[in-house]
Amino acid sequence: MDNLNYQENALSASNPPPYSEKQPYSQQPPPSYMPANPAMPSGYQPYYFPFNEVPSYGSVTQPPLHTTLVIPEEPTLEPDHLEFSIFTMLCCFFPLGIAALVYSIRTRDANRMGNSIEAQRNSRKAQIMAHFALGMGIGD
């Protein structure tokens, strides 16, 4: 019985009902905006643009998204007291001489980076620690 219902549905789908105002799709004329013969004339061949080109614009170049402007800083000229720190480390009081050497190296780095405030601070600390190391060496 299921087989009979299936055959009846298949027959009714292929033939539209007589009261339908539309024609079946195979008998409808093409819309007015479509040409009657969609094939291209044989004298013309399609041209495909290369991937990186846009028609009438030439090649495509994409501008950078972000521009980073690097302004070099002028190096500062704070004294680093490196020689004094090395002398106090070797000849006077070793622990304070090492601390003075560390601060004098930090002063040199801050001078190179253009950070004058940090260079002044580290230079002053290096000088103070080197003076204390000299005083401890003389006091011994």
Structure tokens at 116: 């004058």
Q: Identify the CA nearest to 103 among candidates 126, 130, 128, 78.
A: 126
DSSP H/E element including 58:
strand 58-59
Which residues, other chains included, contact 55 with Cβ-Cβ below 8 Å and sequence gap of 6+? Answer: 49
Q: Identify the CA nearest to 55 among candidates 63, 46, 64, 67.
A: 46
Answer whether 0.75 is exceeded by the pTM.
Answer: no
pLDDT at 86 (0 to 100): 95
Please list the pLDDT of the chain residue by residue as tens digits (140 residues). Answer: 555 555 555 555 566 556 556 555 555 555 565 555 555 555 666 666 666 665 565 555 666 677 777 776 677 899 999 999 999 999 999 999 999 999 999 999 999 888 999 999 999 999 999 999 999 999 87
